[in-house]
Structure 1
């Protein structure tokens, strides 16, 4: 039977309401444990009812456009709280949940920046967060327990008309070397980006998307939680904390649920390689896994090879490896590989890169080679240009900054017009409108590489990525010189189109991929209206990592008062190999 056309909706709430009416009792999400039979299924009608209950509550206590902090552990409550904000016309502000007793510096910084009126959290965190309004100077911030909201019907929900340019949520950058900045993601950005991911991944109606990624980061929230909801395909969500304690629950779950699409940052694949246990994984079948996306961090060829070799014993097809690239400022996804074609890598000369050229390394010249991994082709309806420091569009084989345009490009940073202007409105000579310029890149016929921030040079070889330079669309072929088909997580800034067009409007928005801090070169997703962005390549700038996130965040103790029904789980398996070096806490705030 031929594949049906992909659905198209103006917003995520519109998609949920559509599926709730069309397939009310079908399973939308499975919140899974590592043990068979220990899971919680949620249908579309039940999910819509819970989200509308949250929305109705917010409508009685907040105004449309108010910012609402989400300080919840991963699970059903987080998802329904986020969707409730969208239904009510509020602006969700997803954050990781601080453990009781932990410092609230980052949360306070976000509160000062976006001045939220309300915060949704758990009973277990209510007392701890009472300090927040006073320490942050936000005396109007009101805390609400999701348990309390869920226990009572909240009255009649008043439908809200959502426009693609209306603000949906603020995705805060890491702020590791400065104050966090909230990327303004519109409803149009979200749906356009999910459409781009669906096309890039080649998502089918019978796919099963499985994820352990945290919901308070863009890769987990947009790429693995909202994507299946938009498309009406089944999703299986694992407990993030359980994965960090016991990484092998990931391949076990892929086998159990016959998942077809699942992935994460490079460190996750390295964890599975380091913790491989043939005896425990006996009987695990990974033959269904056809999209193993890898983004949000530098993509390391040895990790891909090691993972494919070990898990190939369990039916994993190495052609399923899917490197991708993006940044939060582009919502998420910017470029990715062709589905089921595997990955490509190239050994290039570091000395040539230093001189502004891209050429293959000479085998005899020891220490000169730098291996880069291709991040595929640019997302649908997205355009990339490579720019010189003086604003010229570069020729093939030259090193420059990446400029990205598309409907996934966000509307700027919340309440930071000067930074937004600087980051989102770069210019490329000979082109009308604004374009963003970002990190150092090399172009070659059909591909380009992204080694790092211009001021860093090519020494940051672990974050280097290879990107194709030719566009498929005829109108973009004249831009062969620039890199063109990327997706994944790049640190960058974005900007607003001339005339102050709203996020998601028809105005073209462009963005640049800015350099990330040393250990965080992300990969992600994107697609939206072009608008201009100029990145100053500051250290610590969060990129469009499909969701680059600090492993520190998801390693914190599981004392956040999670709902036992949301993520049934077993005790973590003892780690016979000791802590993984990949998960060492690193300096700087969470991403």
Structure 2
């Protein structure tokens, strides 16, 4: 791979993504770069590396001619290939691109407005089809956002009143901004993670070292293209390796999860990634006889599985369900990552089956790691998220003292290395707190001076591998004991037939001076009719008590889709708690019959 990158070093140092694309366009112009599968199945839209390089160059010149270099812009696109050309065009012209999810509700528009305000964006880049759709939904989009809305789907020179392509555009350097990756903003204004070209290339190089992409490789992805995992695995990694990437809309997967597996089998994909809940959805579809004939999955070498944490049962259920289709257990690769580290931090190497340690639930409640036999009553599996590679270092730190923890002790996960993003855009105080952490020695004195990224996640190191326990701020402390909400949520999800993976949220609220446990569970009409709301609540309460010796003070049954989630489908516990406390979640029992 080093020889491939020789021609993309603008200053003799770290390469850039746009330089890499230029090289691909010159050396393999007729090779397929990206294919978009309409309805998750029809490959009627594609770009070769030569076509993509040309489209990116046109857009980069256009943006530079408009004076956008050094400015920010919001990218708002439906799933498809125009997003990729525009994103790389922004990177190539020095425009700090802030990708966002296409809005479906007014609150989504407000989020875009907040991101535009935070980033200082002067323009929203989109395409004709989406602009018309949004104007039908929300009225005059320009007036609504107070920004210039530019349509990039047509050749820029053909648009009335728009400057045509100008002269050569200066190549970006490795420390230039490649992307503003905005966080969910579930507890306040979203923050823009500043990702440089050097961050992107370092992260994809580490990913390739862990999960190598051979020249015969192929990627399939349904992940949102504006999300960190979808962008790295669906867009950046294929560009790095010079291999084709087959993309589909997230909705195509959600409507029928088997489409993802069918595409992997059809296009002989070697690499594909998803959060843990996606593997659970596929396993459930198989158990219900809805997976169909997905085809041969033996080509799949890296099934990256990223979540905080990865569920051991999800790994086991998926592997067992699809072993008859050629899926190999060692292809499942759990990992851990976050936008503030560009993405990947650790991962389990390919060609090795995933591992887990079984812990005493009683000891976990006291914040201790006590490894027990899997058959021990109350034993809880915690999946290994693997190791770091290259220059990335992970430390487990006591968040109160900033002192390092020994192996098999739970603490906050701190990260350092070339993949750690530069900062939060325009937020020096938050940046210093998150990206400028420093460790202290046993006597409380400053350590070696190295700065670390504080992830806010809890975990421990065992046998040199990272095991993630959960989010520090989501930890539920009840009567002096620690409870990890994802464990309670899993018990709730499995309490009754018909409940879906990733459909429950557990959090604590203060009532009358006491902490109360609230469990919110999504249920569809079929499940409610099969069990009844009273029975469903009783099942959830019983499951939580049986597995955790914990009483759920409130069980709220809500419609599917009522629980707020991130763009990648992860539940947002704090946002859900806010909705609950503000009375914005409607219990199914309160709805009129038939609704």
- TM-score grouping bracket, smaller chain normalisation: 0.7 to 0.9
* Aligned equivalent of 1:316, options 327, 332, 356: 327
Please say if residues 24 and 242 of structure 2, whose CA atoms lie closer than 8 Å, have aligned partners that are also in contact. Answer: yes
For residues 101 and 402 of structure 1, what CA distance do their matches in structure 2 show? 36
2:306 matches 1:306: no
Q: Which range is displaced more, 197-206 or 67-76?
A: 197-206
For residues 589 and 43 of structure 1, what CA distance do their matches in structure 2 show? 32
* Aligned equivalent of 2:187, options 164, 172, 177: 177
Per-residue deviation, residues 54-102 of structure 1 (Å, max 9, x unmatched) = 1122112133211111111011111111011011111111001114877
In the TM superposition, residue 203 of structure 1 has moved relative to its aligned partner by 1.7
2:384 matches 1:379: no
For residues 589 and 323 of structure 1, what CA distance do their matches in structure 2 show? 20
In the TM superposition, residue 357 of structure 1 has moved relative to its aligned partner by 3.2
* Aligned equivalent of 2:453, options 433, 436, 443: 436
2:72 matches 1:95: no
For residues 284 and 66 of structure 2, what CA distance do their matches in structure 1 show? 49
For residues 559 and 339 of structure 2, what CA distance do their matches in structure 1 show? 23
> Is the partner of 1:40 in helix, strand or coil?
strand
Please say if residues 441 and 451 of structure 1, whose CA atoms lie closer than 8 Å, have aligned partners that are also in contact. Answer: yes
2:414 matches 1:397: no
For residues 296 and 279 of structure 1, what CA distance do their matches in structure 2 show? 25
For residues 402 and 106 of structure 2, what CA distance do their matches in structure 1 show? 49
Please say if residues 31 and 236 of structure 1, whose CA atoms lie closer than 8 Å, have aligned partners that are also in contact. Answer: yes
Per-residue deviation, residues 137-172 of structure 1 (Å, max 9, x unmatched) = xx5x21111233457393245222211111111000
Per-residue deviation, residues 432-469 of structure 1 (Å, max 9, x unmatched) = 222233432233342343212345165226379xxxxx
> Is the partner of 2:295 in helix, strand or coil?
coil
The aligned counterpart of 2:496 is none
Pair 203,125 (structure 1): closer, same or farther in 2 beyond 3 Å:
closer
Please say if residues 185 and 191 of structure 2, whose CA atoms lie closer than 8 Å, have aligned partners that are also in contact. Answer: yes
Pair 355,205 (structure 1): closer, same or farther in 2 beyond 3 Å:
same
* Aligned equivalent of 2:377, options 343, 366, 369: 366
Please say if residues 424 and 435 of structure 1, whose CA atoms lie closer than 8 Å, have aligned partners that are also in contact. Answer: yes
Pair 266,454 (structure 1): closer, same or farther in 2 beyond 3 Å:
closer
2:486 matches 1:462: yes
The aligned counterpart of 1:587 is 564
Matches within 5 A, 1:519-534: none
Please say if residues 121 and 146 of structure 1, whose CA atoms lie closer than 8 Å, have aligned partners that are also in contact. Answer: yes
Pair 248,142 (structure 1): closer, same or farther in 2 beyond 3 Å:
same
2:284 matches 1:284: no
The aligned counterpart of 1:68 is 73
Pair 6,197 (structure 1): closer, same or farther in 2 beyond 3 Å:
farther
Please say if residues 384 and 468 of structure 2, whose CA atoms lie closer than 8 Å, have aligned partners that are also in contact. Answer: no
For residues 347 and 325 of structure 1, what CA distance do their matches in structure 2 show? 19
Matches within 5 A, 1:8-407: 9=8, 10-33=15-38, 38-99=43-104, 103-126=108-131, 128=135, 139=146, 141-149=147-155, 152=158, 154-276=164-286, 281-282=292-293, 284-361=295-372, 366-367=377-378, 369-388=379-398, 389-407=400-418
For residues 226 and 397 of structure 2, what CA distance do their matches in structure 1 show? 33
For residues 293 and 582 of structure 1, what CA distance do their matches in structure 2 show? 30
Please say if residues 333 and 379 of structure 1, whose CA atoms lie closer than 8 Å, have aligned partners that are also in contact. Answer: no
Q: Which range is displaced more, 104-113 or 289-298?
A: 289-298
> Is the partner of 2:377 in helix, strand or coil?
coil
Please say if residues 427 and 433 of structure 1, whose CA atoms lie closer than 8 Å, have aligned partners that are also in contact. Answer: yes
Please say if residues 227 and 567 of structure 2, whose CA atoms lie closer than 8 Å, have aligned partners that are also in contact. Answer: no
TM-score computed with the length of structure 2 as normaliser: 0.74
Please say if residues 40 and 253 of structure 2, whose CA atoms lie closer than 8 Å, have aligned partners that are also in contact. Answer: no
For residues 239 and 567 of structure 2, what CA distance do their matches in structure 1 show? 27
Instruction: Give the total of aligned pairs.
Output: 472
Pair 38,207 (structure 1): closer, same or farther in 2 beyond 3 Å:
closer
Matches within 5 A, 1:435-584: 435-437=452-454, 438-454=456-472, 456=475, 458-460=482-484, 462=486, 584=561
Per-residue deviation, residues 343-376 of structure 1 (Å, max 9, x unmatched) = 1011112333344432213668633x22100111
For residues 336 and 413 of structure 1, what CA distance do their matches in structure 2 show? 25
For residues 77 and 186 of structure 1, what CA distance do their matches in structure 2 show? 22
For residues 386 and 472 of structure 2, what CA distance do their matches in structure 1 show? 22
> Is the partner of 1:325 in helix, strand or coil?
strand
Please say if residues 72 and 121 of structure 1, whose CA atoms lie closer than 8 Å, have aligned partners that are also in contact. Answer: yes
Structure 1: runs of 5+ lacking an equivalent: 465-517, 521-580
Which of the pair is proportionally richer in helix?
2
In the TM superposition, residue 53 of structure 1 has moved relative to its aligned partner by 1.5
Query: Which is bigger in relative contact order (C-alpha 8 A, separation at least 6)?
Result: 1
**What is the Cα-based RMSD across aligned positions, in Å?**
2.8
The aligned counterpart of 1:533 is none
Structure of larger gyration radius: 2
> Is the partner of 2:431 in helix, strand or coil?
helix
